[in-house]
């Protein structure tokens, strides 16, 4: 209670210091009259010295409502004067410091409201939360500031006591010691069907997705990751009910991917996906484009494209087209010259080149009919306009346009099948497709020439790059290069991203990752940085056979285990140790991104096969992750869908494919493609032995590989081969590609 007593120290007034920040989000606020500070120990110490409350504003650069709040309140001199007088004001980029965001978002969601919007929080000088909210109009915001200050000055002791009670409640929520013992076999047997049934209940067959109303997010970690496995594992089940559920799982996932491909959530003109749709039809996007969405959706689309039970012949092409579209966008618009991938493009942009200061949401992406018709001309505009539902009055439902910025504007979405458009205009389907193919580059050229591009958040995040590396790795093998030119570039792009992270965000002396890079290293890495990047390394190893990626993943898993594993209760903390993070949260539920712990569970299962000398430790850590979530897995497994997918993989057991031969040998290339791209096998690991440069580092970690390497060194094999190994024993090598395909498809 001592922090509430005594006279506050006299210190010079603070000024806005965000001009020294590296985060694009913080730099957006460097000219605010609010005396913003970064989250630093000396700033927190200043709050204690002055005995002032902290006003914490968390956001990210592509956040539309963050811009609205800033314009209404943080750019206002009167509001700023009150904030500077009453508070120490701290700005945090939640993408750089998710550990800070997580604590106060957890408070906001459990004590105030359930929201995904970034929090505004008032904290005691000791960082305990007092109040939290999201967006407030200026008048209400001023009243709240005044009321919070009044409580602090007139009833400080009670405020501090209540905030400490809140902290204890949050800590108690993290205690898993009371969880009932869990039989992992029971969890694996029960939870996948529960998640499937939950998704089936919410399935919107007409519009795609898993809600009958907007907003709708792709959220692949909550749906497609599990559905792809359900469809694959039970596709050939002798149980008729299971086989039908597998077919339904494939249909639900493919329908969502088709909705993303056809909808306005996809940028038809410039490629890539917006973060979510504000309506139930996937027509009106919230226009920001996030790297993490591009990586996850592209990977899921690629995995679905090789399912054996897709609902129709066109589904595979849509999945491939969607993945290629995303990968092309990311490589063109989000890639840094040094090989890393940037984080996001903003939802807002300048209204025009003449008025770039007037920002509107979606300004870069939407069209007035007159401009649309003028660009495409009298022959193509009617056909393309009908295809995309372009209207003189605009095609955006006013109920989805809260601020009225899209009145008279059109988003582009496929409103009619190609066949219906062809019938209406008396042309062939191929001619309609040619019109659309001609229209896209014309519209792109007009857009690029006449409109200010949205702000680019050019920080490079380790974890999100990991997600994109996984997608690129799969794309390099699954996409046919003759149809999709991006396929030939994917492995190189992924390798260059790995090289960037290794050179700029990894400390070889400590074995630790940094979270971000922009004009230098950012904060320390979090659990998701390790988990997502390790997964990317494992995926890239499987498609290239380059041992260095696997060995790097093993080394990073050692760091993740040392710094984030909870030795007392099992499972993994989400945040790194930090004296100013009052609670190390677990954050095991999947959301817009998968939880670090769920991806780690998958990684550990794969690493148990790769580095089998550590299999016992890896498997125990994975099992402890399930046990620490046991109560919630039983009650609400759909909130942990990616963890449930790991349970399903574990129940099925892993098959190891060992390819022996030169990486340049056509047999080796085709065998790898068959194993990865002929059908979806979630529970596989692929290892490679090049006789001319044997994987000696892997051999030290894997007795089977060591034995094979020694055998090859004694007696070189005359032909490349594929072996299947299970439980430490290998079958005879297969030397014929047709036999490799039979072996894979009949597994």
**pLDDT, tens only, 248-262:** 999 999 999 999 999
Q: State the first-to-last Cα distance of the chain, in angstroms, to the nearest integer.
A: 65
Look at residue 343 in the predicted model and tell me its pLDDT: 98
**Model pLDDT, residue 599:** 98
Give the pLDDT of residue 3.
44
Which has the minimum average pLDDT: 72-81, 183-192, 619-628?
Answer: 183-192
Question: What is the token pair recorded at 216?
Answer: 């709708």
The whole-number pLDDT of residue 224 equals 98
pLDDT at position 122 is 84
CA distance linking residue 695 with residue 448, whole number of Å? 48
Percent of the chain at pLDDT > 90 equals: 81
pLDDT value of position 136:
84
CA distances to 503, 689, 711 from 716, in Å: 36, 12, 8
- 132 has a pLDDT exceeding 60: yes
Q: What band does 184 get if pLDDT is binned at 50, 70 and 90? A: confident
pLDDT of 179 strictly over 60: no
pLDDT of the residue at 266 = 98
Query: What is the average pLDDT across 645-660?
Result: 96
As beta bridge partners, residue 122 has 55, 131
3-state secondary structure at position 722: strand
Kindly state the average pLDDT of the residues 502-529: 97
Determine the distance from the C-alpha atom of residue 84 to the mean position of all C-alpha atoms in its chain, rounded to a whole number: 36
- Convert 402-437 to b/e letters by CB count within 10 Å (16 or more is b): eeebbeebbbbbbbeebeebbeeeeeeeeebeebbe
Supply 238's token pair.
């002798």
Residue-wise DSSP of 645-697: HHHHHHHH--EEEEEES-TT-HHHHHHHHHHHHSS--TTEEEEEE-TTS--HH
State residue 175's pLDDT score: 66
Yes or no: say if 162 and 601 are a contact pair by the CB < 8 Å rule.
no
pLDDT of residue 69: 86
Average per-residue pLDDT for the chain: 93
A 10 A CB-CB count for 321 gives 18
Backbone angles phi and psi of 88, in degrees to 5: -90, 120
pLDDT by residue (tens digit) across 370-395?
Answer: 999 999 999 999 999 999 999 999 99
**Listed residue (366, 518, 513, 389) closest to 446, CA to CA:** 366
Closest-CA residue to 635 (of 198, 250, 233, 94): 198
How confident is the model over 542-552, as a mean pLDDT?
A: 98
- State residue 111's pLDDT score: 66
Rg (CA), the chain: 27
Could you tell me the two tokens for 381? 């505009």
Average pLDDT over residues 687-710: 96
Residue 1 has what pLDDT? 38
List Cβ<8 Å contacts ≥24 apart for 489-494. 489/331, 490/327, 491/540, 491/543, 491/544, 493/331, 493/335, 493/339, 494/468, 494/469, 494/536, 494/540
DSSP alpha helix (H) spans, 234-269:
240-262
Residue 117 confidence (pLDDT):
54
Q: How confident is the model at residue 121 (pLDDT cuts 50, 70, 90)?
A: confident
What pLDDT, on a 0 to 100 scale, did the predictor assign at position 728? 75
Taking alpha carbons only, the member of 593, 598, 586, 585 closest to residue 644 is 598
Does position 431 have pLDDT exceeding 60, yes or no? Answer: yes
pLDDT band at 518 (very low <50, low <70, confident <90, very high): very high
> 103-112, 115-124, 482-491: which range is least confident on average?
115-124
Give the pLDDT confidence score for residue 355 in this predicted structure.
76
For 62, list phi and psi in degrees, rounded to 5.
-90, 5
Q: What value does the mean pLDDT take over residues 741-747? A: 89
Q: What is the DSSP string of 291-347?
A: HHHHHHHHHHHHHHHT-TT-SSTTHHHHHHHHHHHHHHHHHHHSB-TTS-BEEEE-S
The 3-state DSSP class for residue 213 equals coil
Specify whether the CB–CB gap between 524 and 347 falls below 8 A: no
Q: Is residue 671's pLDDT more than 50?
A: yes
Q: 265-276 in b/e burial notation, b at 16+ Cβ within 10 A? A: bbbbbbbbbbbb
Helix axes 291-305, 224-233, angle to 10 degrees: 10
Q: Residue 600 is encoded by which pair of tokens?
A: 């780690």
pLDDT at 153 over 50: yes
Give the strand pairing for 53-59 and 87-93. Answer: parallel
570 has pLDDT over 60: yes
Q: With bands split at pLDDT 50, 70 and 90, how would you rate the model's confidence at 275? A: very high
Q: Are 73 and 549 in contact (CB under 8 A)?
A: no
Cα–chain-centroid distance for residue 62?
A: 15
The average pLDDT across 506-511 equals: 97
Q: SS3 for 130?
A: strand
Given a contact cutoff of 8 angstroms between Cβ atoms, the answer to whether 473 and 543 are in contact is: yes
3-class secondary-structure state, position 456? strand
Look up residue 686 and give its two tokens. 């692929």
6, pLDDT greater than 50: no
pLDDT bin (cut points 50, 70, 90) of residue 114 is very low
- In this structure, are residues 163 and 130 in contact, taking their beta carbons and an 8 Å threshold? yes
| pLDDT band at residue 119 using 50, 70 and 90 as cut-offs | low
Q: What is the mean pLDDT of residues 7-17?
A: 79
Please, which pLDDT band fits residue 306 given cuts at 50, 70 and 90? very high
109: pLDDT confidence band, cut at 50, 70 and 90?
Answer: confident
Is pLDDT of 353 > 90? no
Tell which residue, 229, 231, 208, 406, has the closest CA to residue 310. 231
Banded model confidence at residue 118, pLDDT cuts 50, 70, 90:
low
């Amino acid at each position: 209670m001592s922090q509430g007593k005594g006279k506050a120290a006299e210190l010079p007034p603070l000024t806005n210091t965000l001009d020294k920040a590296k985060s694009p989000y913080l730099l957006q606020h460097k000219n605010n009259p609010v005396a913003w500070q970064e989250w630093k120990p000396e700033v927190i110490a200043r709050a204690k010295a002055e005995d002032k409350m902290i006003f914490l504003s968390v956001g990210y650069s592509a956040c539309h409502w963050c811009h609205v709040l800033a314009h209404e309140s943080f750019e206002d001199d009167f509001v700023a004067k009150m904030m500077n007088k009453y508070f120490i004001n701290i700005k945090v980029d939640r993408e750089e410091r998710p550990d800070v965001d997580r604590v106060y978002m957890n408070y906001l969601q459990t004590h105030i409201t359930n929201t995904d919007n970034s929090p505004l929080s008032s904290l005691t000088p000791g960082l305990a939360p007092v109040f939290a909210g999201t967006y407030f109009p200026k008048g209400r915001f001023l009243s709240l500031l005044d009321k919070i200050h009044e409580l602090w000055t007139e009833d400080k002791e009670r405020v501090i006591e209540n905030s400490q009670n809140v902290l204890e409640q949050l800590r108690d929520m993290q205690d898993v010691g009371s969880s009932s013992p869990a039989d992992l076999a029971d969890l694996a047997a029960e939870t996948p069907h529960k998640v499937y049934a939950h998704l089936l209940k919410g399935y919107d067959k007409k519009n795609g997705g898993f809600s009958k109303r907007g907003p709708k997010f792709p959220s692949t970690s909550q749906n497609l990751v599990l559905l792809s496995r359900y469809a694959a594992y039970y596709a050939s089940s002798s149980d008729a009910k299971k086989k039908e559920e597998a077919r339904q799982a494939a249909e639900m996932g493919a329908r969502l991917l088709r909705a993303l491909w056809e909808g306005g959530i996809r940028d038809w003109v410039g490629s890539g996906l917006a973060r979510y749709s504000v309506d139930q039809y996937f027509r009106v996007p919230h226009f920001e484009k996030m790297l993490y969405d591009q990586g996850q959706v592209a990977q899921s689309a690629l995995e679905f494209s090789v399912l054996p039970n897709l609902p129709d012949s066109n589904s595979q092409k849509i999945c491939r087209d969607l993945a290629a579209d995303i990968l092309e966008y990311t490589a063109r618009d989000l890639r840094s010259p040094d090989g890393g991938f940037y984080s996001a493009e903003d939802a807002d942009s300048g209204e025009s080149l003449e008025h770039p200061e007037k920002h509107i949401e979606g300004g870069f992406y939407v069209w007035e009919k007159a401009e649309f018709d003028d660009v495409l001309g009298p022959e193509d505009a009617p056909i393309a306009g009908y295809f995309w539902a372009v209207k003189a009055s605009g095609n955006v439902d006013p109920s989805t346009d809260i601020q009225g910025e899209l009145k008279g504007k059109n988003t582009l979405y496929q409103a009619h099948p190609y066949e219906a458009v062809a019938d209406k205009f008396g042309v062939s389907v191929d001619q309609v497709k040619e019109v659309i193919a001609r229209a896209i580059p014309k519209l792109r050229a007009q857009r690029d020439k006449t409109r200010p591009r949205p702000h680019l958040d050019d920080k490079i995040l380790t974890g999100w790059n990991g997600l994109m590396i996984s997608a690129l790795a799969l794309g390099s093998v699954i996409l046919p290069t003759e149809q999709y030119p991006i396929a030939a570039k994917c492995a190189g792009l992924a390798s260059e991203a790995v090289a960037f992270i290794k050179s700029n965000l990894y400390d070889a002396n400590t074995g630790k990752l940094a979270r971000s890079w922009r004009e230098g290293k950012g904060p320390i890495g979090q659990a998701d940085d390790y988990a997502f990047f390790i997964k990317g390394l494992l995926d890239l190893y499987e498609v290239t056979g380059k041992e260095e990626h696997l060995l790097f993943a093993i080394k990073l898993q050692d760091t993740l285990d040392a710094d984030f594993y909870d030795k007392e209760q099992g499972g993994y903390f989400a945040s790194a140790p930090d004296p100013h993070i009052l609670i190390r949260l677990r954050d095991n539920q999947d959301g817009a991104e998968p939880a670090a712990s769920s991806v780690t569970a998958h990684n550990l299962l794969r690493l148990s096969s790769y580095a089998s000398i550590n299999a016992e430790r890896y498997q125990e850590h994975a099992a402890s992750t399930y046990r620490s979530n046991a109560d919630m897995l039983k009650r609400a497994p759909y909130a942990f869908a990616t963890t449930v997918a790991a349970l399903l993989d574990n129940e099925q057991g892993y098959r190891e494919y060992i390819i022996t031969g030169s990486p340049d040998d056509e047999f080796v290339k085709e065998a790898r493609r068959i194993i990865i791209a002929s059908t979806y096998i979630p529970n596989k690991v692929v290892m490679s032995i090049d006789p001319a440069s044997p994987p000696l580092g892997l051999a030290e970690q894997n007795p089977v590989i060591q034995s094979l390497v020694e055998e090859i060194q004694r007696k070189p094999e005359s032909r490349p081969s594929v072996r299947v190994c299970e439980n430490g024993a290998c079958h005879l090598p297969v030397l014929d590609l047709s036999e490799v395909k039979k072996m894979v498809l009949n597994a």
